[in-house]
Amino acid sequence: MDTSCATAAARVCDRIEAADGEIHAFVPEPGRRERLLREARMADQRWDGSGGRPALFGVPVGVKDIVHADGLSTRAGSDVPAEALAGPQASLVDRLRAAGALVAGKTVTAEFAVTAPGPTRNPHHLGHTPGGSSSGSAAAVAAGMVPLAVGTQTIGSMIRPAAYCGVVGFKPTHGRIPSDGVIANAPTFDTVGLFAPDVATLAPAAAVLCDGWRPSGDGGAATGRRPVLGIPLGPYLDRADAEARSSFEERAGRLEVAGFTVRRMPFPDDFDQVRADQVVIGRYELARTHAVWFPRYAERYREQTAEAIRQGQRIGDDAYAAALRARAAFRDRLVAAMDRDGIDLWITPAATGPAPYGLQSTGNSVMSLPWSYAGVPALALPAGRAAGSLPLGVQCVARPGADERLLAWALDLESTLAGSSPPV
C-alpha cells in the first residue's frame, strides 16, 4: 500500500473536488492540487521512512479561515482585504506541519467567527445549517473530505457544528492550544480545537497541539476507572428542545444500563446571569479586537457582525471588569460542585436540537455557553439521529486541565452513545 504524502495529497484533492461543489466547506483555492502535491513531496523527502515518521504524517487537515497558514491567505469569511488581516503562521500550524500533516486548505467560517454564516451546507441535508462558526471544518470532516480539521470556539462554535454534522468535536481547556496567529473574537473565551470522525482519530492530533500533553492524564482514565457522570438540571438544561431532551435522556439511560454512574443535580442556579455576563465580556472584547479594522472597513462588514461590535463599543470598562470577576467566581463554583458531588464529567445535549433548516443562521449556542464561559474542556460525541435523520450529539464536560482524562474516558463513552436506536 502506498503510504506517501503525495498519494494522500492527491486523494484529498480528489475528495474535495468531488464533494465540495455542493457543500462549500473549503474556501476556494486556485492551484490547491499543485500546492498540496508540492508540500507532500517535500514531506516525503524529509521523512523517507528510514528514521520513522511523525504522528500525523500524510494526514490532510482543514484549517479554519481565521488561522494564519503560510502559503494561504486569511480572509476570516469577510470582505476586509486579506492584506489588512495578514499575519505570521500560527504556532498550531507549525506543530501540525512539524508532525507531518498536510494543510488541505482553509475551511469556511462565519464572518470573523461571530454569527454571520458562510455558504457551507450540512452534508447530511444540504438545506440545513452545519452550525458555526466553524462550519467548514465540521462539514469537511462529516463529508469525508478530510479526517481532521481545526476549528475555534468562543461560545458554541465547535460543539454545536460537531453535533449538527455528526462528528466528534473537541474544545480543550482555554489556552491549552496556542492561539497566536489566530484572529481573535473574544480572547477570554476563544479556544482552538479539533474535529474528527471519531475519538481515536482525534486523540493523536490533540497530543500534538495541546501544551504539556500527558498520555491519558493521571488517575481516573489512566487506571481504568469509569467516570461519574453528572446531569445539570434546571434552567440551563431546559433550553434544549423536546426532541434533543428526549434523545439525551434515552442516551443517559443507556449509559446507566452499561454500568456508568449518572447523578442528576441542579446546576447552575444563576444561568440567566451567566448568560448576561458572557455577552458583556464577549461583546466588549470583540469591539476591541476590531478597533483598528472596523473604523476603516465598517462598510464591508455584515450587519450581524457590525451590530455586535457596536454593542461592544457601548460597554464600559467597569461593567467588563465586573463580568470578569463574576466569571472567575462561576468557574470556582463549577469546580466546587464537581468536588462536592463527585462528578468527573457533566453530560448534556450538545445542541438545543438537530440542525435547523436554512442557511441564514448557524443555530443556538446556548448548550455550550456555561462551559465556554468557564473555559473548561468539552467534547461532542455523536449520539444517534433525530426524526428527520439529522445527527444529534451528547456533550461531555470535564474539569479545567483534565483534557487527557476527557479524551481517554470518551473512548469508553463513544460506542455506547452512538449505538442505533429508533429516531426520537
Task: Note whether 211 and 177 are within 8 A (CB).
Answer: yes
| Amino acid of residue 391 | P
Distance, in Å, from the CA atom of 32 to the CA atom of 213, rounded to the nearest integer, reads 32
CA angle centred on 207, ends 204 and 210, rounded to 5°: 140
Q: How far is CA 70 from CA 6, 33, 89, 418, in A?
A: 19, 16, 6, 38
Residue 157 is among the residues annotated as catalytic for this protein: yes
Are 393 and 351 in contact by the 8 Å Cβ rule? The answer is yes
Cis preceding-peptide flag for 268 (omega within 30 of 0): yes
Task: Return the ∠ at Cα 332 (arms to 203 and 268), rounded to 5°.
Answer: 90
Q: Which of 78, 133, 137, 368 is catalytic?
A: 133
187: which residues sit within 8 A by CB, 6+ positions away?
179, 285, 289
Q: Which three cell numbers stand for residue 324?
A: 470578569
Close Cβ partners of 22 (under 8 Å, ≥ 6 residues apart): 121, 126
Q: Which residues contact 256 (CB under 8 A, 6 or more apart)?
A: 262
To the query of whether residue 133 is one of the catalytic residues in this protein, the response is: yes
Q: What is the DSSP letter of 367?
A: G
- In angstroms, rounded to a whole number, what is the distance separating the alpha carbons of residues 234 and 265? 8
Residues 6 or more apart in contact with residue 384 via CB below 8 angstroms: 247, 250, 251, 391, 392, 417, 418, 419, 420, 421, 423, 424
* Reduced 3-state DSSP string for 157-168: CCHHHHHHHCCE
H runs (alpha helix) in 186-241:
199-209
Instruction: Determine which one of 91, 134, 157, 179 is catalytic.
Output: 157
- What cell was used for 46? 524529509
Q: How far is CA 75 from CA 24, 160, 298, in A?
A: 15, 23, 15
Does the active-site annotation cover 135? no
* Angular region, 363: left φ>0, alpha ψ -120 to 50, beta rest: left
Distance CA(170)–CA(159), nearest Å, equals 7
Q: Which residues are catalytic?
A: 64, 133, 157
